[in-house]
Chain A
Amino acid sequence: MPAATATASAATDAPGPVTPIVEFSKDQDLSAYKTMLTIRRFEEKAGQLYGMGLIGGFCHLYIGQEAVVVGMQMALKDGDQVITGYRDHGHMIACGMEAKGVMAELTGRTHGYSKGKGGSMHMFSKEKGFFGGHGIVGAQVPLGTGLAFANRYRGNDNVSVAYFGDGAANQGQVYESFNMAELWKLPVIYVIENNRYAMGTSSTRSSAETNLSRRGVSFKIPGEQVDGMDVRAVKAAGDKAVAWCRAGKGPYILEMLTYRYRGHSMSDPAKYRTREEVDKVRTTHDPIDMVRHRIVEKKFASEDELKKIDGSVRDYINDAAEFATHDPEPDVSELYTDIYR
């Protein structure tokens, strides 16, 4: 089973529940393909602009992990909320935020989502249900729990999704949140994006229990491992978790077995793993290739139609880059806005 390529050590643990994959309709496959491709092209462009010196500071690319956020987003509805860490560009695009505004934030310009003051790691769109964009590893986990608290308090049936990494799973506040969320039956889905590395440290070197879906066991939170490279598997598991939360049964943990192709951030040469390891995932289990093959195989679209989609995605991203490199730099007066009311 392909998920095994994404984690070696999980195989040694007792298998947890696996939600069966549900085939996508034509519309679902095409829409997933387009959004994942948009994220990938966005990230590639951001990498280029970084290389040209047009983006500074940190820039954590999401390439390789696209199926996670796209599949999860397909399981959500209006009013649901999403929160994550600093590897956030993909989440924002999946939430429906404009590539222009995200890219302009990366280049530190006036029409970036945070007027250039936030940077790559810090953007928000309440309108789209995206609550950031946080730089302190693990900090978003209690915050996501609080979003769920508010939903429960208001008595609506919305859920929140708190994304965090395999490395972040070793932060103490994660477990304080788990306990509180289960105790109060809060509708929060903890999505652990296990891309096997936290900066230069592989999860096997940082975690005593590498099956992270089991991290909720002592809090009675159900969890499962998901092939995070297969957008259908993500969507199916997401649907199950969402239903659990909406039914008032409390939190749910989904460990997405995934992989980041690029370094931790732009300055990381990623010497802690081999080229072959990266290539193997890219060539055999790439989330976008897999959807593309399926689309062709099932004749959901012809090569020509796919090329058309590719072209429109490319144009959309090029426009965003064009915008982000020509938008004016923020005015000095912005230094003093939005600190207090």
Chain B
Amino acid sequence: MPEITYRDAVIRGIAQEMARDNDVVFLGEDVAKAGGVFKATVGLYEQFGPLRVRDTPISEQAILGAAMGAAMTGLKPIAEIMFSDFFAVCFDYIANEFPKSRYMSNGQTKCPLVVRTGNGAGSRFGAQHSQSVENWCMMIPGLKVVAPSSPVDVIGLLAAAVRDPDPVIFLEHKSLYATKGEVPDGEIVDRLGTAKIVRPGRDATILALALMVPRAVEAAERLKAEHGIDCEVIDVRSLVPLDTQTILASVAKTHRLFTVEENPRLCGWGAEIVSIVADEAFYDLDGPPVRITTPHIPLPAADILEDMVLPTAERIVETVRRSLQS
């Protein structure tokens, strides 16, 4: 199977949907002529033209507001917010407008749009350009939230997001853009609300998202090789809707639960999942669920400090080993 980068998968995913459906339009800052700050939209302007692929002023509220206005009439905009940190600048649309339009209008005005954004840390961008904001989005009823970890999932989930009749927040991880993965030829469409078992195992369940997935997989390989601990790694992929079935089935099998979260600790998605597991599968557990997270701190710019705070394979290995061997 051919390999492509996560970055190229974004391009391919958007192109696939724009070629299929004329109602799909794409707008954002420097997305057209420049091909995106992360080069994840290169060529779309050339392929689909200035009417469908638009550079905007630096006006996030207008970008999301206009996307929603168009969506209310049936267009299916894909809007890019360059860094997920900037959600805070246009949060009104994310929190008050998109997720409530269907509800408040008796189902008349739908909001079939996708907001793509560069999320997460690892590039020494500091406190205002590195955050993992999945938990900001997850807490709002009416929004769907996905975060792919591999090129094939980027395409499949992006297609599913564009085709979904509700607003979807699509979190791309900045530190994954250069990574590669196998992607089959032809159209790819996945399903929202589905997790993926990326490494089956018997002794413990490790849930991870986005950049934390490859780290969890690496940790699982080392746990097996160095300590004989066989972990099942699940890529959660979709926070809303959440695939509780896959998660609960895994916990029923392994009896131990670990979450690996890049977001700051308080109100991270793992806390929600731990709560669900405590409710639904308490007696399946052989030990306390353990959350491995970034501490509850702003992110530092200095490389040495940034590397220290994000969960690493090393930290996952140590945490799982200590927890299982105690």
Q: Which residues of A contact B (CB under 8 A)?
A: 56-58, 108-109, 114, 116-122, 134-139, 167-168, 170-172, 198-201, 205-207, 271-272, 329-330, 332, 334-336, 339
Contact of B33 among A116, A122, A170, A272 (CB under 8 A): A272
Contact of A335 among B29, B55, B309 (CB under 8 A): B309
Contact of B59 among A109, A171, A271 (CB under 8 A): A171
Interface size, chain B (Cβ < 8 Å): 34
A339: chain B residues within 8 A (beta carbon): 297-298
A168 with B58, Cβ < 8 A, contacts A117-B300, A329-B302 known: yes
Contact A119 B33 (CB under 8 A): no
A119 with B124, Cβ < 8 A, contacts A109-B302, A136-B86, A330-B302 known: yes
Instruction: Give Cα A329 to B303, complex, Å.
Output: 9
Flag whether B127 is at the interface (Cβ < 8 A).
Answer: yes
Contact B301 A200 (CB under 8 A): no
A172: chain B residues within 8 A (beta carbon): 59, 61-62
A109: chain B residues within 8 A (beta carbon): 302
Closest to A121 in B: B126
Contact A122 B301 (CB under 8 A): yes
Contact B59 A57 (CB under 8 A): no
B37: chain A residues within 8 A (beta carbon): 199
- 7 A-B pairs besides A116-B300, A117-B298 with CB distance below 8 A are A58-B125, A108-B301, A109-B302, A167-B57, A170-B57, A172-B62, A271-B34
Contact A119 B302 (CB under 8 A): yes
Contact B89 A136 (CB under 8 A): yes
Flag whether B304 is at the interface (Cβ < 8 A).
Answer: yes
The 10 lowest CB-CB distance pairs between A and B, nearest first, are A119-B301, A108-B302, A57-B124, A200-B34, A116-B302, A135-B128, A56-B124, A170-B57, A119-B126, A117-B300
Nearest CB of chain B from residue A242's CB, rounded to whole Å: 28
A201 with B59, Cβ < 8 A, contacts A56-B124, A116-B302, A332-B308 known: no
Contact of B304 among A108, A114, A137 (CB under 8 A): A108
A330: chain B residues within 8 A (beta carbon): 300, 302, 304-305
Nearest CB of chain A from residue B63's CB, rounded to whole Å: 11
Closest to B61 in A: A172
Q: Which residues of B contact A (CB under 8 A)?
A: 29-30, 33-34, 37, 55-59, 61-62, 85-86, 88-89, 123-129, 295, 297-298, 300-305, 308-309
Nearest CB of chain A from residue B306's CB, rounded to whole Å: 9
Contact A334 B55 (CB under 8 A): no
B126: chain A residues within 8 A (beta carbon): 57-58, 117-122, 135
Nearest CB of chain B from residue A114's CB, rounded to whole Å: 8
A116: chain B residues within 8 A (beta carbon): 300-302, 305
B309: chain A residues within 8 A (beta carbon): 335
Nearest CB of chain B from residue A116's CB, rounded to whole Å: 4
Contact A58 B128 (CB under 8 A): no
Q: List 19 A-B contacts (CB under 8 A).
A: A56-B123, A57-B123, A108-B301, A108-B302, A117-B301, A118-B301, A121-B129, A121-B301, A136-B86, A138-B58, A199-B34, A200-B34, A206-B55, A206-B58, A330-B300, A330-B304, A334-B300, A335-B305, A336-B295
A108 with B124, Cβ < 8 A, contacts A172-B62, A200-B30 known: yes
- For A134, A135, A168, the residue with the greatest tally of chain B CB atoms inside 10 Å of its CB is A135
Nearest CB of chain A from residue B91's CB, rounded to whole Å: 12
- For A119, A198, A271, A332, the residue with the greatest tally of chain B CB atoms inside 10 Å of its CB is A119
Instruction: Give Cα A168 to B303, complex, Å.
Output: 28
Instruction: Give Cα A139 to B127, complex, Å.
Output: 14
Closest to A199 in B: B30
Closest to A334 in B: B305
Contact A329 B304 (CB under 8 A): yes
A57: chain B residues within 8 A (beta carbon): 123-126, 301
A137 with B58, Cβ < 8 A, contacts A109-B302, A199-B29, A335-B297 known: yes
Closest to A53 in B: B303
Closest to B125 in A: A57
Contact A335 B308 (CB under 8 A): yes
Closest to A329 in B: B304
Closest to A332 in B: B308
A171: chain B residues within 8 A (beta carbon): 58-59, 89
Nearest CB of chain B from residue A55's CB, rounded to whole Å: 9
Instruction: Give Cα A172 to B308, complex, Å.
Output: 37
Nearest CB of chain B from residue A202's CB, rounded to whole Å: 10
A207 with B57, Cβ < 8 A, contacts A135-B126, A201-B34, A336-B297 known: yes
Closest to A105 in B: B301
Contact B55 A135 (CB under 8 A): no
B297: chain A residues within 8 A (beta carbon): 335-336, 339
A206: chain B residues within 8 A (beta carbon): 55-58
Nearest CB of chain A from residue B139's CB, rounded to whole Å: 21
Contact A200 B127 (CB under 8 A): no
Contact A121 B128 (CB under 8 A): yes
Instruction: Give Cα A170 to B56, complex, Å.
Output: 10
Instruction: Give Cα A330 to B304, complex, Å.
Output: 8
B58: chain A residues within 8 A (beta carbon): 137-138, 167-168, 170-171, 198, 206
B304: chain A residues within 8 A (beta carbon): 108, 329-330
